A and B are shown apart, each in its own frame.
Chain A
Amino acid sequence: MQINETSEISKFKPVIVAFCCNWCSYAGADLAGNNRLNYPADVKIIRLPCSCRVNPMFILRAFQKGADGVIICGCHPGDCHYTTGNYYARRRMTILFSMLDYLGIDRGRTRVEWVSAAEGAKFAATMNDFAETVIKLGPNKRLGDLRCRK
């Protein structure tokens, strides 16, 4: 039984959607790539002008269409290209993720991280860590759409 479980976990390839702000985190991801740092290929990056651009609907639709985890990356608080965008994002995501948790969606499936353009290593580490968490949680069954399963 134990063996079965682990093998199933190792087989599970999660789909992770990362919303990255154009100015810091996307550049951070770029740096991670340039430095040949490893992070899971299952992370699909979506570039946004600012972490504050994330509409809660984006996150939910990502889950609907098969994402197992959603992570939002932006500039460190205080470093926003638009001065204050990430502060608003922070408040919004606090409320939204708390609400998702309240509905019984595992907390580990959502995350917000601040990654600067110079933090390629942090980007890779964050993604590795997040992917690991999501793999432990297994496939997203609670917020997925039955119609989207193959």
Chain B
Amino acid sequence: MNPVARTVLQRLGLGLVTLFIVSIIIFSAIAMLPGDFAKATLGQSATPETVAAFQREIGIDRPPVERYFVWVAQMLHGDFGSSFASRTGYRRTVAEIIAPRLYNTMFLAAVTALIAVPLALGLGILAALYRNGWFDRLVNVATLTTISFPEFFVAYMLAYLVISRDTFIGSDFAQTLPHWLTVSLNWALNAVPKFPTLSNVNDQTPFWEHLWKVALPAITLTLVIVAHMMRMTRAAIINMLASPYIDMARLKGMSPMVIVLRHALPNAWAPIVTVVAFNLAYLIVGVVVVEVVFVYPGIGQLMVDAVKSRDVPVVQACALIFAATYILLNLLADIISIATNPRLLHPR
């Protein structure tokens, strides 16, 4: 049987099991959370009667186990169920709640990936080519620094840059600096495009505007993930450079560029794609903070909200989507590693 096909099937099977367990974990976690949807929404104005009425309507007066299996039954029919925010005569399906958010998240992830991945690979390859040269050192230090910053810090700094186009001159900070510096800084700041600091998009936002609005989040995320991928690219290639067939290539009179691109890189894909996959997963799963800072209606924030309001069906759906993304991306990574490794692709 074709190794790729085998892996795919195996992993998909495993994936399903994982999803099932994840759903149980999340469900029980939410069940363990203090309060429930009714109490959370009514908040301070809750009274026992109203809460009870509420619980009856959305059916959370039932025992958890029963609710879980009802939910599973729905899932098996491909129905994500409906949010607790629904009312009689006004159904809000989980699908319709999640769809736009998921789209937004995917959009941001895609934009970021399109910037970050090529950048990371390019830098990584160059760094490997000119290893231990000034370029390498520079990139190394730079990337190490960017991964070291807290995400929200990067985000706020970018927002600050944009805002400062107008406010910098007036700020205390500017006053404390020497005049020439203030002036030149201000000049530099005005070179910054006036990106929106508020990425509030909705389903009516046209494509280009959407693109424009996610500029800052995308840049933030890029800064956060490029380092990791770039370093792995470099390391993987350099690792390969230690192997005999690279010596052989040198003795065949190949140029360093050819050696890195044609002899080292093809054997280095596996670790690289793994890291890339990991970071792409992060782009979809781990961007809550950035979403919060830029008020970007992504799925991360949705899940946090849903957890806050104990909207179990939504939380479940989000968790499953996240888990699925993680699983699929890793699977993809494995497939690529197999596809790029003749030993696995064409067994003897």
A binds B: no
Contacts from B to A (Cβ < 8 Å): none
